[in-house]
Structure 1
């Protein structure tokens, strides 16, 4: 027999924090339609809840161009985080990372490295993110993985781990290559992973300029200079095959949105279209935090345990996207998977679902988990619990 209990709470917005995973399903609210953009594909997501707010051709495969460097950066950031490399490592630049000696790089965006240069990882990382340097990508790939091919394998492994099922890389820099593709949805969720998993790496994306060898270059993401939006990333890209691409992220209060506009018509047009999408999102949606990490939603009786009850909730902050101004109206129901909880029960074990409601409509569903471990009681305790449970069932 399934048991369903309903508790109704009202909560206020809390501080911004990283989201737990959620289904990437569209949500329907009585809000104006998203603007129609002059681009081949686009998507807008809530970075914290993972909800998709607007999309067009979001699963259509397209050339990523320099958006590829978001994954290059992710691999580098993971290597730094795991201490396989350090930001202070000195990298010796090879001939392959020299534009004059590598015809593939001719006419592309560069950090302007030369063979034999001794460059710290921290500067090469800025060269990748801020200057979009294809030569810097090659240098870092060789340093992290020993070769470009090995690094591309890492990129594709991470894409698989992150669930980017419509993404495949053939290069470390994003110059056009057969069999290389992504989608607006995948690249937006890659941006989400950068923000969530690698905050120190992501912090570089807001820097507006970088100078190397007395050559100053500005970040190509023009939204960083837009005073009407608090944009702090992410990345642009352009090739003839890809058109003009831009993934942008901005914060307003408790809400962080990520837009991905692919196949824009012009350099400035991709910024204008991205701004339309982000502005619409902030105007009509916000992120609520109806349950904080490790805060019990409910205490449930547990049988055959060394304790009589167990706190249930979430081990991470829970985020839900709601229409702007309606966060306080959010309600939560829960139901258990089974009629009764029994020990042993491990911390984090999923025992049911939390359903977040607005206007009697389920707008999000999250796992309900045990907030602590409950060990099994001894022999006599088990016998006594068995007797009590039978009486409970009978009467």
Structure 2
């Protein structure tokens, strides 16, 4: 790459929006768990982690993927929230020894339940029976639904996740990681806003039975927590994924292998508090906003506006925002027509106090067609003089 044009972009930082560089280091609070991740949901950046790629039993955190597959079936209009599902024999907790002592919605064979209530039963009650009933309805069987779960994991680019059950009870070959669970959670938050509100519901009453959401952070008065899920088995330990917002900012904390139900909440609370207190989420660029004008040779226009194609945000320690700089560099010595709108012509480099954080494609914001014979001749002479 031959740098031909540099432009320092100052004063363009706005409060907010979208996808992933490494954050400058701050020391997170000590976390008592086997593994954890704190992610800025807006940018996708990991702000703190420990053993984030260690494969562990997900327990009921599996139900996040169950819910995501159901949500996508809703998006594709294969099912609707008002559909009525007839519960099958395999979803009967009392008739299934695998479910003994586990979380249930307390369905019975022949019960007729809406997709909406089954979804709430999966999320709020953590009902293993509700997972089976929904899997049968969406995919025809648990095995077929598990295939959809693993297909979705592959689509999300998850390298350390594989499901064997629709509900998360321990099974050979079933595993995920704190890092992958953060990605699943972010996908739910960003792509399923109409269903995400269910994760903040504190209780569900169905068929005369009221159960409380096991995510105790929903009652926390120091944070605005609106999801997501808890899980526990003897081998997994105590797991939790919690998301908290502050204005336009959102953090996701994943804690796996905690020591107790209250302990996992405390560890997640520490991560969320630290992230919201010590970091800022700043919008660095707006899609389509001109970062500069560049000369174009042999074109029907002599200049073209350049910029980026997508909104771009970063999560930075508070106080670092003032040190943030950006510059763009063209790929070649000069720009020559024709150019297409959106064509990559260089890169934008974002640095913090001299340290390169990431690069983005620099694109032409408008098309430039080839000029006429006379204008091209004039440009040729100018370049030769």
State the TM-score, normalizing by the size of structure 1: 0.91
Q: Name whichever of 266-275 and 99-108 sits farther off.
A: 99-108
Q: Is 1:186 paired with 2:177?
A: no
CA contact (8 A) 2:299 2:376 kept: no
CA distance in 2, matches of 1:371, 1:133: 50
Q: Which residue of 2 aligns with 1:252?
A: 246
CA distance in 1, matches of 2:280, 2:307: 22
Q: Which residue of 1 aligns with 2:122?
A: 128
Q: Which residue of 1 aligns with 2:166?
A: 172
CA distance in 2, matches of 1:105, 1:304: 72
Q: Which residue of 2 aligns with 1:163?
A: 157
TM-fit CA distance, 1:282: 1.7
CA contact (8 A) 2:87 2:108 kept: yes
CA distance in 1, matches of 2:353, 2:48: 21
Q: Secondary structure at the match of 2:146?
A: helix
Q: Is 1:80 paired with 2:74?
A: yes
Q: Which whole-Å deviations, capped at 9, do the CAs of 1:89-142 have from their partners, x for residues lacking one?
A: 111111111112222222111111111111111111111111111111111111
Q: Which residue of 2 aligns with 1:39?
A: 33
Q: Name whichever of 309-318 and 298-307 sits farther off.
A: 298-307
TM-fit CA distance, 1:328: 4.6
Q: Which residue of 2 aligns with 1:28?
A: 24
Paired residues, number: 384
Q: Which residue of 2 aligns with 1:240?
A: 234
Q: Which residue of 2 aligns with 1:368?
A: 362
CA distance in 1, matches of 2:102, 2:375: 72
Q: Is 1:105 paired with 2:99?
A: yes
C-alpha distance 190-343 of structure 1, shift in aligned 2 (>3 A) = farther
Q: Name whichever of 167-176 and 301-310 sits farther off.
A: 301-310
CA contact (8 A) 1:166 1:186 kept: yes
C-alpha distance 104-324 of structure 1, shift in aligned 2 (>3 A) = same
Q: Secondary structure at the match of 1:248?
A: strand
C-alpha distance 391-197 of structure 1, shift in aligned 2 (>3 A) = farther
Q: Which residue of 1 aligns with 2:348?
A: 354
Aligned pairs for 1:338-349 (under 5 A) are: 338-349=332-343
TM-fit CA distance, 1:345: 4.1
CA distance in 2, matches of 1:304, 1:93: 69
C-alpha distance 392-167 of structure 1, shift in aligned 2 (>3 A) = farther
State the TM-score, normalizing by the size of structure 2: 0.93
Aligned pairs for 1:1-395 (under 5 A) are: 1-14=2-15, 16-17=16-17, 19=18, 21-23=19-21, 25=22, 27-29=23-25, 31=26, 33-303=27-297, 305-372=299-366, 374=367, 376-377=369-370, 381=371, 383-384=373-374, 386-391=376-381, 393-395=383-385
CA distance in 1, matches of 2:105, 2:66: 15
TM-fit CA distance, 1:79: 1.2
CA distance in 2, matches of 1:3, 1:195: 41
